Amino acid sequence: MAASPQLAFDGVHEHAHLKIARALAPLPRRKPSGGGGRGRRYADHKQHARDLAQQAASLRDRHQTRERVLGINPALVMVIECNDAVANLVEALENAGLRVLEGRGDSALAAFSGDPEMTSFLNQRKQYETVLTRGGNPRYLGLFDAIDRIRPLEPSDVVDEDLAQRLVSVSPNEILKIDFTCWCTESREDTILRNQETRTALSNAEANILDSTCRYEVGLSIIRAEIRAELVLDVVRTDRISRASLLPRPLLSQPEIDQWPADRLPEIRPPARTAPLVAIIDSGIQAGNPLLAPAIYETVSAADDIADGADESGHGSLVASLAVYGSLERKLHRKDPLHAAGRILGIRVLNHENTFPDAELWQSLVERAVLMAAERGARVVNLSLGDRGHPYRPPAPVGIAAVLDKIARERDLVIVVSAGNVEAFDHAGPVYGRWLIDSEQTGLIPPAMSALALTVGALVPHDDQGARPARDSVARHRLGKAGQPSPVTRTGPGIENAIKPELSAPGGTFVYDEDRKRVIADSVRGGVVGAAGGRPDAVLARDIGTSFAAPLVTHAALRVLGRYPNLRSTSVRALLLATTVPAEPILEADSEKEAAYFERHLSGFGKVVAERAEFSSDHRAVLLSEENLKADEVHFYTVRVPSVFFQPGEKRLAIGLAFDPPTRATRLSYLSSRMSVYAYRGADVDDVRAKYAASPEEAPTELAKYKIDLEPADRLRLQGANQAAGKTWKNAWDRKYTDLVVVARNSFRWPYEDHKPVQYALAVVLEVTQLVPGLYAELRAQLEVLAEIEPEIELG
């Protein structure tokens, strides 16, 4: 697959980004009329109806004969295997008297019936079998044709694989520490009752409850308990449990110490007093490190049984260094002065074993740490950790993601999360891209699926230049070339199949050892370099992984906020998204579109370059708008096309969109709304507005001849709250294309009473590859400059 051109930042001319204002007043969006449908799936609908009736009767009869378990009457929970997107069936199932509990991948969902007879559901099934509409289709066709099978919920649906393996290998009396996640529904009372009933069952099992939380508003209901192995499945059989799992163990490496004396460090400049505060939620910070000491604001512990914020492993210190300085390889080689882009707030959540404390739910601990960061004034939060033992399986929401999304929206935080590392990468072999995509074990680690956070995957970096000599490799060859996804990176998609990770950054090199026939880390030649921790005598360390790709994106966010301190978090996200450069392709597929689809779940929308996010240049102008968009409204923007676009040479339009919709983990429609963005050239903005006013379509077909076909396509982008798209041209534009019109559209999905204006930011980038001056100046003459921070002047 051919890569898009990488339009490089020239690093010389630094210009502030520009403001773009709406051209017209908002336009209310016309609601689509609905209708249509996909037609019948089951030609013999009567036989299908009878099959479903038999399955429902078997389910009902089985439930009626079940006995109490641990003092609890088991609930009637069923798994509905379907052939349509699970979110499309929620309303129909609820109208049939079933309460949807959770999606299970794309093809099954769990539902609860408060009526043991399933009366409403079976009445509708009867009508599906016997009653035809005027159009000749069975009644309730959309519901029952979408259902392939109904079956009871089984322990295998609930017990995680690692716990299942543990249960068959231990003695019945062995005490296990288990996290029991309870069903959360739209009913607060029902959610609380399920949690209480599970506590009762655990008490009857003589379990020791270590910690618990029941947070209806974010769909988080978990009880951590010590329990005998023989009783775990009894708790599961109460059907109050959606998941039973072993405690999480983050996969964090011990950074390799780089023997670099402190007196060889270049000049270290402390951050400005007004520099943004970044929270590093990790293993702590080595406060005495000469690279970190000038930038430290505070180091604290968020856990009751962790005494202080010191770093015993080195992981958090390396992450913190990368966040404020970026990677140091080239800077050390050139002896460039090091100027911290932000002040460091270190919040420790990992104990001396580099794991979350057993006595406390890790979700509660991370939530407390993020709230601590917000209360101390942090603008950016970096999370390079998570639950690697339980990879996310889309599209259903997850409670910890809803927790982060709620805080990010309410506290205006930029949250950057690593995609997670693949532990068993030795199975990948030298051709690893397809394995990463296809394996069930390489999904994102919680909380990387968070919709409002920026999730970061790892790329193979360029070789370092002099920070440390490279070793010769015998019987090995490099795995991937610079700019390609790393074999360690985990893959998306995220909640509701959103593109995740959205961004990528260098995260270390791997090699394939021909003798040992396995992939091994090559941190010596390709590790990311930063500050050491864990040892007071060490200055530098290097390591590999997405843990160290994420803070490079955090660094870019800090630079943006340092330059434009009054921006909302949505604007920072939009700027990072719009100014990426493409990652190198790695996969071969049957078509270019298929390859591009898979690549996006490896490296997202592209690689972040901090300079591009912070500055415009003579030949690249970045335009930004911060707005609020009401329920089902449309905003219109217009930009005069710069004259250099009418000349030969490569040119590019890129757009970044970030918005902050309310979220709810108890709904499969996790985001309250979806936003989309379209671009038109050669059309009058008044005509575009009129066409949108007259059409219920998402993008009016009457404007098709003006529409720019951005990539990725809108239908692939709109599942997420962080979006980017672009298009590159090699030829000169026709001079009739004098204006660009950009349209932002907000489609609400929840009941109308839940609708509130949504904050969003739109970044538009116009760029040419040839270093022809004038593009920025031409647009600058029309538009206002974003307010930059006043530089601090230190006297004497």
- Of 12-26, 635-649, 704-718, the least confident: 12-26
Ranked by mean pLDDT, the top range of 258-272, 449-463, 617-631 is: 617-631
Q: Measured in Å, how far apart are the chain's first and last C-alpha atoms?
A: 57
306 is a domain residue: yes
What band does 507 get if pLDDT is binned at 50, 70 and 90?
confident
Would you state the pLDDT for residue 723? 98
Does 76 or 754 have the greater pLDDT score?
76
Domain harbouring 747, CATH code: 2.60.120.380
- The total number of structural domains in the chain stands at 4
Q: What is the pTM of this model?
A: 0.91
Q: Do residues 520 and 629 both lie within one domain?
A: no
Residue 678 has pLDDT above 80, yes or no: yes
Query: pLDDT digit string (tens) for 550-602?
Result: 999 999 999 999 999 999 999 999 999 999 998 877 776 666 777 777 788 88
What band does 470 get if pLDDT is binned at 50, 70 and 90?
very low
Mean pLDDT of all residues in 245-251: 85
**Share of residues in the chain with pLDDT > 90 (%):** 59
- Residue 609 contacts by C-beta under 8 Å, 6 or more apart in sequence? 9, 556, 579, 580, 581
Whether the Cβ atoms of residue 726 and residue 652 lie closer than 8 Å to each other: yes
Would you state the pLDDT for residue 752? 61
- Residue 414 contacts by C-beta under 8 Å, 6 or more apart in sequence? 379, 380, 381, 408, 454, 557, 561, 569, 572, 573
Rounded distance, CA 230 to CA 755, Å? Answer: 48
Q: Do residues 450 and 396 both lie within one domain?
A: yes
What band does 89 get if pLDDT is binned at 50, 70 and 90?
confident
What band does 479 get if pLDDT is binned at 50, 70 and 90?
low
Residue 465 has pLDDT above 70, yes or no: no
Would you state the pLDDT for residue 512? 56
Ranked by mean pLDDT, the top range of 16-30, 328-342, 643-657 is: 643-657
Give me the chain's average pLDDT, please. Answer: 86
Mean pLDDT of all residues in 772-786: 89
Rounded distance, CA 511 to CA 463, Å? Answer: 13
| SS3 at position 715 | helix
**Ordered DSSP codes for 737-790:** --EEEEEEEEEE-S-GGG---EEEEEEEEEEESS--TTHHHHHHTTSPBPPPPP
Would you state the pLDDT for residue 788? 79
348 is a domain residue: yes
Last residue of a domain, one of 84, 113, 144: 144
Rounded distance, CA 784 to CA 624, Å? Answer: 10
Would you state the pLDDT for residue 14? 74
Would you state the pLDDT for residue 7? 40
Residue 462 has pLDDT above 80, yes or no: no
793 is a domain residue: no
Does 317 or 43 have the greater pLDDT score?
317
Would you state the pLDDT for residue 483? 67
Would you state the pLDDT for residue 427? 52
Residue 326 has pLDDT above 50, yes or no: yes
Residue 729 has pLDDT above 90, yes or no: yes
**Ordered DSSP codes for 197-241:** HHHHHHHHTT-EEEEEEEEGGGTEEEEEEEEEGGGHHHHHTTS-E
82 is a domain residue: yes
- Residue 15 contacts by C-beta under 8 Å, 6 or more apart in sequence? 615, 616, 617, 618, 621, 776, 780
Residue 478 has pLDDT above 60, yes or no: no
What band does 198 get if pLDDT is binned at 50, 70 and 90?
very high
Would you state the pLDDT for residue 423? 66
**Ordered DSSP codes for 426-460:** GGS-S--HHHHHH-TT-BPPTTTT-SSSEEEEEEP
Mean pLDDT of all residues in 382-400: 89
789 is a domain residue: no
Instruction: Tell me which H or E stretch contains 548.
Output: helix 546-563
Would you state the pLDDT for residue 430? 57
**Share of residues in the chain with pLDDT > 70 (%):** 88
Rounded distance, CA 554 to CA 323, Å? Answer: 5
The answer for 426, left when phi > 0, alpha when psi is -120 to 50, beta otherwise, is alpha
Q: Do residues 54 and 78 both lie within one domain?
A: yes
Q: Do residues 452 and 342 both lie within one domain?
A: yes
Whether the Cβ atoms of residue 680 and residue 706 lie closer than 8 Å to each other: yes
- Of 36-40, 102-106, 409-413, the least confident: 36-40
256 is a domain residue: no
Ranked by mean pLDDT, the top range of 80-84, 385-389, 726-730 is: 726-730
Does 13 or 580 have the greater pLDDT score?
580
Last residue of a domain, one of 144, 177, 208: 144
What sign results for the dihedral spanned by CA atoms 100, 441, 450, 571? negative
Mean pLDDT of all residues in 256-263: 77
Would you state the pLDDT for residue 397? 86
Q: Do residues 186 and 295 both lie within one domain?
A: no
Q: Do residues 659 and 684 both lie within one domain?
A: yes
Would you state the pLDDT for residue 526? 53
Residue 796 has pLDDT above 50, yes or no: no
749 is a domain residue: yes
Q: Do residues 28 and 49 both lie within one domain?
A: no
Q: Do residues 354 and 463 both lie within one domain?
A: yes
Would you state the pLDDT for residue 639? 93
- Residue 507 contacts by C-beta under 8 Å, 6 or more apart in sequence? 457, 458, 459, 461, 486, 488, 489, 528, 544, 545, 546, 547, 548, 549
What is the distance, to the nearest Å, from the Cα of residue 406 to the centroid of all Cα atoms in its chain?
14
If one counts every other C-beta atom within 10 angstroms of the C-beta of residue 219, the result is: 26
Residue 738 has pLDDT above 80, yes or no: yes
Q: Do residues 177 and 221 both lie within one domain?
A: yes
Instruction: Supply the range of the domain harboring residue 193.
Output: 158-238
- Residue 788 contacts by C-beta under 8 Å, 6 or more apart in sequence? 16, 563, 564
Residue 518 has pLDDT above 50, yes or no: yes
CA distances to 385, 577, 777 from 162, in Å: 19, 36, 59
Domain harbouring 361, CATH code: 3.40.50.200
Q: Do residues 414 and 478 both lie within one domain?
A: yes
Mean pLDDT of all residues in 670-689: 93
Rounded distance, CA 309 to CA 299, Å? Answer: 5
- The CA dihedral of 400, 401, 404, 408, to the nearest 10 degrees, is -170
Residue 524 has pLDDT above 70, yes or no: no
| SS3 at position 113 | coil
Q: Looking at the DSSP assignment, which residues form a beta bridge with residue 654?
A: 726, 765
Domain harbouring 218, CATH code: 3.30.70
184 is a domain residue: yes
Going across the sheet that includes 296-301, the strands are 296-301, 343-348, 277-282, 380-383, 414-418, 454-459, 503-506
Q: Do residues 708 and 664 both lie within one domain?
A: yes
Side chain identity at residue 439, one-letter code: S
What band does 476 get if pLDDT is binned at 50, 70 and 90?
very low
Residue 696 has pLDDT above 90, yes or no: no
Query: pLDDT digit string (tens) for 275-286?
Result: 999 999 999 999
Rounded distance, CA 328 to CA 547, Å? Answer: 16
Rounded distance, CA 5 to CA 369, Å? Answer: 40
Mean pLDDT of all residues in 491-516: 81
Q: Which token pair is 188?
A: 């607060």
Residue 48 has pLDDT above 60, yes or no: yes
Rounded distance, CA 186 to CA 217, Å? Answer: 9
| SS3 at position 511 | strand
* Nearest alpha carbon to residue 76 among 244, 237, 193, 204: 237
Last residue of a domain, one of 238, 257, 285: 238
Whether the Cβ atoms of residue 108 and residue 154 lie closer than 8 Å to each other: no
Report, as residue numbers or ranges, the catalytic residues. 282, 315, 547
Location of structure tokens 């016997």:
130
CA distances to 208, 306, 378, 383, 630 from 302, in Å: 24, 8, 15, 14, 38
Whether the Cβ atoms of residue 711 and residue 726 lie closer than 8 Å to each other: yes
Helices (H) and strands (E) in the chain, counts: 21, 32
Mean pLDDT of all residues in 23-35: 63
Query: pLDDT digit string (tens) for 169-193?
Result: 999 999 999 999 999 988 899 999 9
Does 209 or 215 have the greater pLDDT score?
209
Q: Do residues 51 and 24 both lie within one domain?
A: no
**Which long-range contacts link 586-589 to residues 24+ away (Cβ below 8 Å)?**
586/433, 586/480, 586/484, 586/485, 587/1, 587/433, 587/434, 587/437, 588/1, 589/1
